[in-house]
Structure 1
Amino acid sequence: MEFMRRNVLYFAWLVAVVATLGSLYFSEIKGYIPCELCWYQRILMYPLSLLLGIAAFYDEHSIKKYVLPLSIMGMLVAAFHYMEQKIPGFSGIRPCTQGVPCNKDYIDWFGFVTIPFLALIAFTLITALLLVFRKR
């Protein structure tokens, strides 16, 4: 447990970097065009890669008060996006009016893993790491 507590910022940073690189892989290499809600999730995730990296390097745990709002908002956007894809009643709510529809599934692994689901997992992991493992 002490190892996790000492390195929580590095683990949270690693999750943010993997999520950032994953989103860039899907858009730049696979050619998937991000929808409007995907852009909001990117806007909330990309700064986490930078902020958590700097905070981990300097062991600056006070960054949590700036990072947690971004990750919690990201969780909410990703959860809404995932529900729009998987729950028929949510498809009537249309935040995406131009471009790629937000309910489009580019990937659907095992019948439930989609890109917004992956983002939701990343935001949830970052939030949980920062809330559960507090520096003494």
Structure 2
Amino acid sequence: MAIWVVSTIATFGSLFFSEIMKFEPCKLCWLQRIFMYPLPIIVGLAIIRKDYNQIWSFLTLASIGFVISVYHNYIMLFPPELGSCGRVSCTTDYFHLLGFITIPLMALIAFIIVIVLCIIGLKMDKKSTFIVGENQE
């Protein structure tokens, strides 16, 4: 259940920034979305179906998104001299929370949380309330 909450918040957060705040996503943001957006759906379906074997799928999506996000945060900190990676530069800084939290950093944090929750879930019983929201008996 916790994985679903985090991925849903991350998905709606990115939609808020692009659709409400009108911040146009760069190519790396789109790539990260490709790996975050399916998570609320497939995690939600796993919860509904009580399918406890899908955690590897969640971990795979989050891990690929994590790698992209690490690179995105790296080029935000150390912009390449080559210029833009597309119509919107991947180093465009739309938003700063508390002076250092950027949109790419928020995405990175979301991927890290999902990965940590997946790893914890793999170490716990498959019918744990932590992962799928069902009580153990």
Shorter-normalised TM range: 0.7 to 0.9
Instruction: Note the residue ranges of structure 2 that are not aligned, 5 or more in a row.
Output: 127-137
**Residue deviations 1:62-83, cap 9 Å, x none?**
1012121110011111111111
Match of 2:90 in 1: 102
Instruction: Note the residue ranges of structure 1 that are not aligned, 5 or more in a row.
Output: 1-9
Q: Is the contact between residue 63 and residue 111 of structure 2 (CA under 8 Å) also seen in structure 1?
A: yes
**CA shift in 2, pair 1:55/1:21, >3 Å:** same
**CA shift in 2, pair 1:18/1:93, >3 Å:** farther
Match of 1:55 among 46, 53, 72: 46
- 2:125 matches 1:135: yes
Cα offset, 1:105, TM superposition: 0.9
Q: Is the contact between residue 35 and residue 96 of structure 1 (CA under 8 Å) also seen in structure 2?
A: no
So what's the TM-score if we normalise by structure 2? 0.84
The percent identity for this pair of structures is 35
- Work out the CA distance in 2 between the residues paired with 1:123 and 1:43: 12
Count of aligned pairs: 124
Match of 1:6 in 2: none
Match of 2:69 in 1: 78
Letter of the aligned partner of 1:98 in structure 2?
G
- Work out the CA distance in 1 between the residues paired with 2:54 and 2:28: 26
So what's the TM-score if we normalise by structure 1? 0.84
